[in-house]
A = this chain, B = another copy of it.
Amino acid sequence: MSNKIKIGICGYGNLGRGVEAGIAHCPDMELVAVFTRRTSAFQTKSKVPVVHIDNANEWKSKVDVMVLCGGSANDLPVQGPALAKIFNTVDSFDTHAKIPEYFNAMDASAKSSGNISVISIGWDPGLFSLMRLYMGAVIPSGKTFTFWGKGVSQGHSDAIRGIDGVVNAIQYTIPSDSAMSRIRSGENPELTTREKHTRECFVVADNEADKGRIEKEIKEMPHYFDEYDTTVHFISEAELKANHGNLPHGGNVIHIGKTGDDNNQAIEFSLKLDSNPEFTSSVLLSYARAAYRLAEKGEQGARTIFEIAPILLSASSASKLTKDLL
């Protein structure tokens, strides 16, 4: 019997496949099964069993932590509380406005069964949120700015794909270098939405479609594009596949504040990710380790990233970390 942490994955999209790939980098973990809502059979890359989610209860004693890889809009609000009754869980629930409600649902489920559920883990929410807390705690008289990109926004890409005559599309969110420079210089500017980010769209249109109309519909789309300076490029499906197939992303959290009489102190955290889903998966796995350890200590209920001591994330011992990293 292996003493590795036994991981289950629920949902086998980009994120689930990223978790599967990430486990190969964690010698203290092993993947035991993938759980799915799908009824048609499929095989996973690592050839672990594929189990229908309705039969999850049969795996209760065989999975230490279930990594929930469903979507925040429809999957997690249902799957999360249901699976937290069976397993310790970790997820990347990212609908900011609904996090308090989701926390309460997960907390009730996890407590009812004596499990631990670590919610809203990833890079934003997740590491960026964590950095906002550290920065604000250390320099309380300061202001935190967040920039996203350059990277693909799935939501904005989907919104373009919904326009009549559009075959496919990828949208990049691009942070303004000049806005970031102004902040770093200590200027503390009031920035409009338009000044912080621009949007660049690569669109494959139907041969018949009116490109002028598509471009206008994109640029004027409420909430998604109307408050931004947006550039639209029409390209072929072949070019889209060749040059825009990855899902890069990243961003910067910048905190500027003063101490003493008038000394500027600047703290910055940034990510530059070739693969957004693989990075999110890696963060999920480090918090799966924390969930396992909290459960071992007998803790119960939901936790956010703020409540997890950093040492719980590392596979190394306290004395090794003190010696090597402190």
Contacts of A140 in B (CB 8 A): 25-26, 315
Complex-state Cα separation, A266 to B263, whole angstroms: 30
Q: Is A136 an interface residue (CB 8 A)?
A: yes
Instruction: Name the contact of A321 in the complex, choosing from B25, B139, B306 (C-beta under 8 A).
Output: B306
Contacts of A311 in B (CB 8 A): 133, 306-307
Contacts of A310 in B (CB 8 A): 130, 133-134, 137, 305-308, 310
A138 and B286 contact, CB distance less than 8 A = yes
* 29 pairs of residues in contact across A and B, judged by CB atoms under 8 Å: A22-B259, A25-B141, A26-B140, A99-B322, A99-B323, A100-B319, A100-B323, A130-B310, A134-B313, A136-B314, A137-B286, A138-B283, A250-B266, A259-B278, A259-B282, A260-B278, A265-B278, A265-B282, A266-B271, A267-B270, A268-B270, A269-B270, A304-B326, A305-B326, A306-B311, A306-B314, A308-B309, A308-B310, A310-B310
Complex-state Cα separation, A261 to B25, whole angstroms: 11
Complex-state Cα separation, A261 to B140, whole angstroms: 41
Contacts of A270 in B (CB 8 A): 266-270
Contacts of A268 in B (CB 8 A): 268-272
Contacts of A274 in B (CB 8 A): 263-265
Contacts of A56 in B (CB 8 A): none
Q: Is A318 an interface residue (CB 8 A)?
A: yes
Residue in B closest to A247 when the chains form the complex, CB atoms: B263
Write the nearest CB–CB distance from A138 to chain B, whole angstroms.
Answer: 5
B275 and A133 contact, CB distance less than 8 A = no
Write the nearest CB–CB distance from A306 to chain B, whole angstroms.
Answer: 4
Q: Is A18 an interface residue (CB 8 A)?
A: yes
Contacts of A260 in B (CB 8 A): 18, 21, 275, 278
B273 and A265 contact, CB distance less than 8 A = yes
* This chain's copy number in the assembly: 2
Q: A96-B326, A286-B138, A306-B321 are in contact. Are A313 and B265 (CB under 8 A)?
A: no
Q: Is A109 an interface residue (CB 8 A)?
A: no
Q: Is A87 an interface residue (CB 8 A)?
A: no
Residue in B closest to A120 when the chains form the complex, CB atoms: B326
Q: Is A103 an interface residue (CB 8 A)?
A: yes
* Chain B CB within 10 A, most for which of A286, A307, A323, A325: A325
A318 and B307 contact, CB distance less than 8 A = yes
Q: Is A132 an interface residue (CB 8 A)?
A: yes
Complex-state Cα separation, A305 to B134, whole angstroms: 12
Q: Is A244 an interface residue (CB 8 A)?
A: no
Which parts of A10-24 form the interface with B (CB within 8 Å)?
Answer: 18, 21-22
Q: Is A117 an interface residue (CB 8 A)?
A: no
Q: Is A127 an interface residue (CB 8 A)?
A: yes
Q: Give me the 6 closest cross-chain CB pairs, A-B, nearest first.
A: A263-B274, A137-B313, A259-B278, A263-B275, A306-B311, A266-B272
* Chain B CB within 10 A, most for which of A127, A140, A259, A264: A259
